Structure 1
Amino acid sequence: MAGSVHIEDLFSSLGDALVTDPDRMLAYRRDQSLLTEAGMPLALVRARDTDDVVETMKWAHRHGVPVVTRGAGTGLAGAANALDGCIVLSVEKLNKILHIDTAARTATVQPGVINGDLAAAVAEHGLWYVPDPGSRAISTIGGNLATNAGGTCCAKYGVTADHVARIKAVLADGRIIHTGAVTRKNVAGLNLTQLLVGSEGTLAVIVEATMRLRAAPTAASTVVAAFPSTAQAIDAVLAIRDRAEPCLLELMDRTTIAAVNEMTHMGLDESAGALLLIQCDGRDAGAEAQTCAAVCAEVGATEVYDTDDPVEGEEFMQARRVALTALERQGSTLLDDLAVPIPRLPEMLSAIEQIAQKHCLVIGTFGHAADGNLHPTIVFDAADDDHTRRARLAFDEMVAECLALGGSISGEHGIGVLKEPYLERMVGSVERELMSKVKVAFDPTSILNPGRGI
């Protein structure tokens, strides 16, 4: 491997931040994507500060060694999987909240800060960090930026990209750049910040970010509604959009409801074909929640329950938060991330059910009904070659159906290795060529996460 004979040079700069023991590197080889390949890295760098990142990139640029940047490893598309002979650059130790500016309503953080930790820290100042992916308790801000993570409140408050003001990053050759501004409005030059968000470590290594905050939310009112079918649940979603703007509107199908019940014994209605979990916030949260409850009843919900009790509301929301964990208890999982126009959700959900039956697979679907982002989760036996083959076929057919409905192959999990084969089919060949040229401008020798995300 090019550069392997020069690893001593890197050790002289990094000391014990550099790891070459294969056993110690094993835990850093891959993310949570089971059906994607992972190579064996040349070395692991557990960066302690920006200087470590700069020295690593200078060395890698000099010797032509690829670098795969990694946060907590919670990704689901293989974007943080090691390549043979690469440097895995872990930023998990860059985990300081550097500054909370209550007047400007911003927080400046290092990339290894856990999303939930930032949310808790700013809450002590009466502020709210909005982006709330399902992995809030374990995923990092750097990883959220790398994939432009979404979450439960996106329809009303936007995704991670809508909450970032500035980014400090290290280029492939070790130079440091600063993008964006803390001002509310900024149209000076091209928007490099938004290029970095969602780029999955292919353009630069994010070492610091200033995130926008909001005033602490008012107490939310919660509605839980059970429906005979997913189609009727989506009818309710469409009707709710005409009369209210909930901050959260989540869907769980029959398979997911059963899995959550089995794990938690929450007593959810397993006779239901679908469950909607709705939360409203703001001064009129209670009245808005009652409107949502009324709409659900009008559309044909078999059971509707609403509450203003924040503790009770959080208990209901926990059912959605543990959906993936509950399905994982049933076997290996291949979690998909597909986004379709909201009116096309019934067709996508019907297609998923047909694909599950066709391949004799369990597929539990849950997701963000308010913005059309679904997470169909295939449960299979990874030790069984035929089961794995059928899981891959089902995955491919779901992606194809999503594209046929005018959807996106990823709403928030990224492309990584898992969805790279589908990217050009979605964006187009000329458009992908333009993306490649942007990559060259940032990383002329293509050492940053090559072959992923673009």
Structure 2
Amino acid sequence: MTEPAVVADLTALLPAGAVTVDPEVMAAFSRDHSERPLPGMPLALVRPASTADVQAVLRVASTHTIPVVVRGAGSGLSGGSTAVDGCLILSVDRMREVRVDAAARVVHAQPGALNAEVKAAAAAQGLWYPPDPASYEFCSIGGNVATNAGGLCCVKYGVTTDYVLGMTVVLADGRALTLGGDRVKDAAGLSLTKLFVGSEGTLGVITEVTLRLIPAPERPASLVATFAEVDAAVQAVLQISASLRPAMLEFMDRTTIGAVEDLTHMGLDRDAAAMLIVQSDAPGDQAAAELNRIERICLDAGATECVLTDDPDDGEAFVAARRMAVPAVEMKGSMLLEDAGVALPRLGDLVRGIQRISSDRGVVIALIAHAGDGNTHPMLVFDRADPDSFARAQQAFDDIMALTISLGGTISGEHGIGRLKQPWLERQLGQDAMALTQTIKAALDPRGILNPGVIVR
């Protein structure tokens, strides 16, 4: 079938306005937030509104072996929704329904719903959806599930997979499966629901998820500690984590602090080598007691200043500064963003290694981290117009990948592999695990149409 005939079939099967081949419109949906890889030229953009619509798209794509790139809100950072030549971009941005069942403490959400919209719907019922990416205001729930997103409070409350109870997913041939449900415990059969969490659109298209909710916690109290040495901040993180479990334990280095201060003018200490942002949502007086212990740990580790507050607005201002880190650093130039995670005892080795790589390659690397769980986000800044600058940034990117793997770490704590990091995945997992991954992919997507080049080649 010719390309125009395929587009005509899709147009006939889907609601009015759901299919477009306008190059300018398609360009806006052809990449995520990452710099690489560059997008290919899609065949068409399809914007389904229901599971049945997604089934229709995949039946056409499977019949004619047309690649399908699934896209949520486009906030990804690993090239996972970057268009490839001749693909259908399947955007779920029109699938936004959110329904809360307060009695069951779950929310049913279509994949295009934003994380913030799910949080708001839960909050209206006195409940809370904890996964909290820095991009929560504009990232989609479907994308969160597809990458197993974490966020700022995952040190205490876990990541997306800890809240996924069920889903509807459409396979490559158009079959729709309903997996799991409202049940908190369910040990019947293989854990197929979890198979699709973190699969980045390579095994099926998620069209609805059932997410566990929990009672809303106490409003948190906050502590901000600044350090003259990065190693001192890392030691404080290790000491805190050895005996306490705060609701948030975030790290920013000097380069990041300066970039955020340039953008926000909120009075951050530019001279500090590192800053920790800590929150406790323990009930009653326990929060103050927990933060007092953390303050003592930070001071003993060498903190130059600690500021405690139970004012929610003040605390949120510091959290907002951390959330602004990526856009603030992006204002300094083009950026490659890593997602390197290690076991906590190796955090210092990773941080020091990243500093050496920055110096050796002559590349500015701003570092933020969900420090409490060892997940770092090195942000490599380069000049897009300077080929040498990009080459050095790419070398530094590869160096950090190699360093992370050598430390027994992971090249993706929460952003996914996408196309950007796919060449490194086998080095982390090994040949046998990659072969098993290929086997699962071939079983569910024998024509290889779903997000080709992501996770597996």
Which TM-score band (shorter chain)? over 0.9
Counterpart of 2:355 in structure 1: which amino acid?
E
Tell me the residue number matched to 2:174: 174
Counterpart of 1:100 in structure 2: which amino acid?
V
Take 1:77 and 1:158, find their aligned partners in 2: how far apart are those partners?
21
CA positional deviation for 1:266: 1.4
Deviations 1:174-230 (A, max 9, x none): 110011232121111111111100000000000000111110110111110011122
Alignment of 1:245-284 (within 5 A): 245-283=245-283, 284=286
Tell me the residue number matched to 1:357: 359
CA positional deviation for 1:124: 1.4
Alignment of 1:205-244 (within 5 A): 205-244=205-244
Alignment of 1:148-163 (within 5 A): 148-163=148-163
Take 1:40 and 1:318, find their aligned partners in 2: how far apart are those partners?
37
Alignment of 1:39-118 (within 5 A): 39-97=40-98, 99-118=99-118
CA positional deviation for 1:2: 6.7
CA positional deviation for 1:92: 0.4
Take 2:207 and 2:183, find their aligned partners in 1: how far apart are those partners?
20
Tell me the residue number matched to 2:372: 370
Take 1:20 and 1:7, find their aligned partners in 2: how far apart are those partners?
8
Alignment of 1:116-155 (within 5 A): 116-155=116-155
CA positional deviation for 1:3: 5.2
Counterpart of 2:33 in structure 1: which amino acid?
Q
Unaligned runs of 5+ in 2: none
Counterpart of 2:191 in structure 1: which amino acid?
N
Check the 8 A contact 2:247/2:281 in 1, yes or no.
yes
Check the 8 A contact 1:3/1:63 in 2, yes or no.
no
Take 2:317 and 2:17, find their aligned partners in 1: how far apart are those partners?
44
Tell me the residue number matched to 1:426: 428
Higher mean alpha-carbon deviation, 423-432 vs 342-351, is at 342-351
SS at match of 1:183: coil
Take 1:107 and 1:76, find their aligned partners in 2: how far apart are those partners?
26
SS at match of 1:161: helix
Tell me the residue number matched to 1:337: 339
Take 2:8 and 2:226, find their aligned partners in 1: how far apart are those partners?
62
Tell me the residue number matched to 1:203: 203
SS at match of 2:411: coil
Deviations 1:101-124 (A, max 9, x none): 111110001000000111112111
Tell me the residue number matched to 1:293: 295
Unaligned runs of 5+ in 1: none
Deviations 1:114-154 (A, max 9, x none): 00111112111111110000110000000000100010111
CA positional deviation for 1:5: 3.9
Take 2:407 and 2:391, find their aligned partners in 1: how far apart are those partners?
25
Check the 8 A contact 2:6/2:60 in 1, yes or no.
no
Tell me the residue number matched to 1:348: 350
Root-mean-square deviation (CA, aligned residues, Å) is 1.2
Check the 8 A contact 1:225/1:275 in 2, yes or no.
yes
Tell me the residue number matched to 2:440: 438
Take 2:92 and 2:340, find their aligned partners in 1: how far apart are those partners?
28
Aligned residues: 453
Counterpart of 1:401 in structure 2: which amino acid?
L
Deviations 1:51-81 (A, max 9, x none): 2111101111111111111011111111101
Take 1:95 and 1:42, find their aligned partners in 2: how far apart are those partners?
25
Check the 8 A contact 1:170/1:205 in 2, yes or no.
yes
Check the 8 A contact 1:79/1:417 in 2, yes or no.
yes
Check the 8 A contact 2:249/2:371 in 1, yes or no.
yes
Q: Spell out structure 1 runs of 4+ moving beyond 3 A.
A: 1-6
CA positional deviation for 1:243: 3.0
Counterpart of 1:190 in structure 2: which amino acid?
L
Counterpart of 2:268 in structure 1: which amino acid?
L
Check the 8 A contact 2:68/2:451 in 1, yes or no.
yes
Alignment of 1:311-326 (within 5 A): 311-326=313-328
Check the 8 A contact 2:114/2:136 in 1, yes or no.
yes
The answer to whether 1:391 aligns with 2:427 is no
Check the 8 A contact 1:2/1:63 in 2, yes or no.
no
Check the 8 A contact 2:169/2:176 in 1, yes or no.
yes
Higher mean alpha-carbon deviation, 285-294 vs 192-201, is at 285-294
Tell me the residue number matched to 1:7: 7
SS at match of 1:350: helix
Tell me the residue number matched to 2:383: 381
Check the 8 A contact 1:2/1:64 in 2, yes or no.
no
Counterpart of 2:241 in structure 1: which amino acid?
R
Give TM-score, length-normalised by structure 2: 0.97
CA positional deviation for 1:37: 2.8
